[in-house]
Homo-oligomer: A and B are copies of this chain.
């Protein structure tokens, strides 16, 4: 796991085979189950207590940052696909249409209830201790 194919030190400092920098993750394209682009990875949400990445937040739609929707998605549901050059998630367009989301105007309540709702929706194991 110690070797890396990267030749540039700057790139190497932001990603290796086992680690990835937060600023490298942000802005990366996200593709759905049909390999069509569904949006960009806006940020990850870190659980302060455990230090675990709880969510990837995917931004979708809108124009120049207006009218965008944000989808909080359990981090483990995303896998990086080197050929696509982005994250692949097991989401179809239909599943995304009904997924928990928020907008800049509605905001999102990061409550345990909503944690449960999102993690249930994607069938992921909870990041919080249960």
> Chain A residues in contact with chain B, CB under 8 A?
1-2, 4, 9-10, 12-14, 16, 18-26, 42-55, 57, 70, 75-76, 80, 102, 104-113, 127
Contacts and interface: CB of A to CB of B under 8 A. Distances in A.
Q: How many copies does the complex hold?
A: 2
Nearest to A9: B107
Please list the 4 inter-chain residue pairs (A to B) with the smallest Cβ-Cβ separation, ordered nearest first.
A9-B107, A22-B22, A2-B111, A16-B110
Contacts of A80: 48
A-side binding surface: helix, strand, loop or mixed? Answer: mixed
Contacts of A23: 22, 26, 42-43
Nearest to A106: B9
Contacts of A108: 9, 12-13
28 contacts: A2-B110, A2-B112, A2-B113, A9-B105, A9-B108, A10-B104, A10-B107, A12-B109, A13-B57, A13-B70, A13-B107, A18-B49, A18-B110, A19-B46, A19-B110, A20-B46, A21-B44, A22-B43, A22-B45, A23-B42, A23-B43, A25-B46, A44-B46, A46-B53, A50-B52, A51-B52, A51-B127, A52-B52
